[in-house]
Structure 1
Amino acid sequence: MSFESSAFDVPFQVPFVHRLRVTRDVFGPDQQILAELLEPSAAGPARIQFWLDEQIATAQPQLKSRIRKFVSDHADRVVMPGNIQVVPGGEAVKNDIHLLEMMLKCINAADLDRRSYMVVIGGGAVLDAVGFAAAIAHRGIRLIRLPTTTLSQADSGVGVKNSVNLFQKKNWVGTFAVPWAVINDAVLLSTLPDRDFRCGFSEAVKVTLLKDAEGFEEVSRLATRIRQRDMTAAAPVILRSARLHLDHITRGGDPFEALEARPLDYGHWSAHKLEVMSNFELRHGEAVGIGVAVDTVYSSLVHGFPEADAQRVLECLTNLGLPVDHPVLHDTDVLFRGLEEFRQHLGGRLTLTMLPRIGQKIDVHEIDRAKMKEAIRRVRDAHRVSVG
């Protein structure tokens, strides 16, 4: 047998189902919604491992007993080997690579397999880190996310990214993996601190600016009530943001970011760098708010975005109780290194999303740094006026 030069390029698609559920109390009256997502295998009840963000475990000490009761009540469908696992919340869980090794050891000790489930209950950072462990163990264990922050319910929890930080770079190690399901539950938000409650709505501003002019009007109109934790105002905005993110992932044509642009990362080139520069004093949602403010003003200076609308964006962020300025923002020599880090993360040429108008976007491949510095100055001045 001899080999001759040949080429075989066969495009194919993998059928994914992205399941999003909304509940009032997932371990109370709505527990059947979670139970129905857990499919027993031919070998018997599904093995299930619960992972808790220590922040929600502390804020809701009854949660562990409610989980155990859930497992007991559905013993025909699931079995829980070992203990409920608790991991640090916030960026701490993503900054210590040894925690990832610990997660993998726990998965191995529980004899989980590809038909098992990992249910992670926590904020976006914990969803990221536990999701990464689930994605690489056995090349993928079924992951069910129960986001406990407005940020993760509105944005990252419904995404397909998992990661940890390395080399002082956000999300340097990670995977794309579609979760088995996502459940946005109201009770899990009830003990969220006010600062973290506000943080989630920067992503709602971002996605509506990109995709939904009517949605941006809604966020702007309800901003003050959202800041005051009026759930009749906040809940529809969270759901609208989640649906917009879900629609982009499932119908946008590039769920795993194989193309040049990352439109859902509008404002994030600076946000990721600001988090690191502030030693994570800035929450992710706060950094995104600042990044969105800067890129929106820059769009008004360079890409024809109406100046009056840029002012409306700044007012919306401020009314939500989000900062639009921080001292590290003005160290532009360091900040602009974030442009190259953003480019490297995806590869190819630098591609940033900017706005010509609300509900529309364009891709740009270079930045006028003088104009970007001017945008940063204008955001700073607007912040001074808002707090003055």
Structure 2
Amino acid sequence: MLRPRDSKSSASAPNILAKELVISQNDPLDAGTDNTVNTVPGSLTDNSTAVDIKFSVPFVHRLRTTRHVAGADFPTLLGVLTPGSVGPAKVLLVAERPVADAAGHVAELARRLGECPDIELVRDVLLVSGGEDVKNDLSCVEEILNQINSYDLDRRSYVIAIGGGAMLDAVGYAAAIAHRGVRLVRLPTTTLAQGDSGVGVKNAINYFGKKNWVGTFSVPWAVINDASLLESLSDRDFCSGFSESVKVTLLKSRDEFDWLCDNADRIRNREMSLATRAIATSCELHLRHITEGGDPFEMLEARPLDFGHWSAHKLEPITDFQVRHGEAVGIGVAIDCFYSHLKLGFPLSDVQRVCDCLSRLGLPLWHQALSPLDRLLAGLEEFRQHLGGRLTITMLRGVGEPVDVHEIDTPTMAKAIEMLHHVGQPLRG
């Protein structure tokens, strides 16, 4: 796990003027009907003044879906790469090593980019490690920063990152802090990243032994979900991403949750027409929450898209990341469904459907690290600190009926985990 050292890096998202779908960052402080923020009564003395102005920053979020971005759909990638104003646009192409080794898509993409007159591919493909290890030390981040510096990339240059969610996190963090934001184009290569984190507006690395402790909010320049990039996934990695599909449909849509339950076996068996539909639905529901939910940069108390994540984020490090993020999320979702049943009346029949769906998607429902409970419950305070303010955990009254709670009853949580243990299947390699 990464250990801290002195650093004075800072980060800020680029100011991207939106012409299409826009989201705004609004100050969550109590504000009047104009652009002024209400000053705390009694805070000003005879010798002090205050100027508090509320403002919004528009962004555009570009999402493209393709079947073969290195082949017939290559123009879709070119379409998001704006030529430079003083010559060709500089591009640093970064790929996760296992992805590049498993198929020829990355090499073909590099070849085609190198042939474009409006693109300057500054070097051969930079290969980096993948998986959670890439977030546990600074080597990947430092390498990306060195490359951006060595090849004189600026804020109108591009870093194209091809890899899974952890790799996209690390590369995205480096791109976000270089020049306070070099344009990042994500090409997610896992079901998890294509359905969730790839369209997120944040990045992070692990620090102090804690998940995502260092990071920034930064809207990617573009995200391209390409079906061909999923071909080399192992069955385990292919299945693990659909826990986020279960999570977001539970939060947002009874119809989509029902569809997912009905098709879980066929998705697990890699019927791609169904798998890509599930990914597209998950991606759209996540994206709409980010862009239309009113809090894209998590300035408020609640973080609904992290349903099931307080325990997932703790389960990963206490298992030395032997549990995949998607697997941990599946377990976390099941835990919080049982807790929601016990405390909020979430129907037991729906809890059973959730567990059945996760299991038929090939996801584990139990890990021995869930006991003893005190290690897991430490994740509640870490989760609270990560968001700030009072503890706020999203639970469910029903499918499509999320509710925020501000305390967790420990005996009830212990009972919820015990109930899961009775139905859960352990993790298999």
TM-score bracket for the superposition, by shorter chain length: over 0.9
Q: Distance in 2 between matches of 1:290 and 1:386?
A: 10
Q: As a proportion of its length, which structure holds more helix? A: 1
| Matching of residues 29-44 of structure 1 within 5 Å | 29-44=72-87
Q: Distance in 1 between matches of 2:426 and 2:134?
A: 37
1:210-269 CA deviation, whole Å, 9 max, x = no partner? 011111011101100011001121111100000000001100000000000110000000
Q: 1:73 to 1:99 in 2, by over 3 A?
A: closer
Q: 1:133 to 1:385 in 2, by over 3 A?
A: closer
Aligned residues of 1:25 and 1:185 also touching (Cα < 8 A): yes
Q: Distance in 1 between matches of 2:249 and 2:279?
A: 11
Secondary structure of residue in 1 paired with 2:398: coil
Percent identity, aligned pairs only, is 56
Q: Does 1:10 find its partner at 2:53?
A: yes
Secondary structure of residue in 2 paired with 1:270: helix
Aligned residues of 2:367 and 2:427 also touching (Cα < 8 A): no
Q: 1:125 to 1:304 in 2, by over 3 A?
A: same
2:322 to 260, 266, 281: 281
Partner of 2:198: 157
Q: Distance in 2 between matches of 1:98 and 1:35?
A: 30
Aligned residues of 1:267 and 1:288 also touching (Cα < 8 A): yes
Stretch of structure 1 that moved more, 274-283 or 63-72? 63-72
1:40-70 CA deviation, whole Å, 9 max, x = no partner? 122011000011011201211x234302321
Q: Which amino acid counterpart does residue 70 of structure 1 have in structure 2?
A: R
Q: Does 1:20 find its partner at 2:20?
A: no
| Matching of residues 1-388 of structure 1 within 5 Å | 5-60=48-103, 62-75=104-117, 77-383=118-424
Partner of 2:42: none
Secondary structure of residue in 2 paired with 1:280: coil
Q: Normalized against structure 1, the TM-score is what? A: 0.96
Q: 1:385 to 1:152 in 2, by over 3 A?
A: closer
* Alignment: residue pair count: 383
Aligned residues of 1:318 and 1:386 also touching (Cα < 8 A): no
Q: Which amino acid counterpart does residue 200 of structure 2 have in structure 1?
A: G
Q: Distance in 2 between matches of 1:331 and 1:15?
A: 46
Q: 1:204 to 1:86 in 2, by over 3 A?
A: same
For structure 1, which runs of at least 5 residues remain unmatched after alignment?
none
Q: Distance in 2 between matches of 1:45 and 1:362?
A: 50
Aligned residues of 2:100 and 2:107 also touching (Cα < 8 A): no
RMSD: 1.5
For structure 2, which runs of at least 5 residues remain unmatched after alignment?
1-45
Instruction: State the 4+ residue runs in structure 1 displaced beyond 6 angstroms.
Output: none
Q: Distance in 1 between matches of 2:98 and 2:420?
A: 33
Q: Which amino acid counterpart does residue 63 of structure 1 have in structure 2?
A: H
Secondary structure of residue in 1 paired with 2:60: coil
Q: Distance in 2 between matches of 1:212 and 1:169?
A: 32
Secondary structure of residue in 2 paired with 1:361: strand
Q: Normalized against structure 2, the TM-score is what? A: 0.87
Partner of 2:43: none
> Displacement of 1:12 after TM fit?
1.3
Secondary structure of residue in 2 paired with 1:89: coil
Q: Distance in 2 between matches of 1:108 and 1:348?
A: 38
> Displacement of 1:384 after TM fit?
5.3
> Displacement of 1:9 after TM fit?
1.7
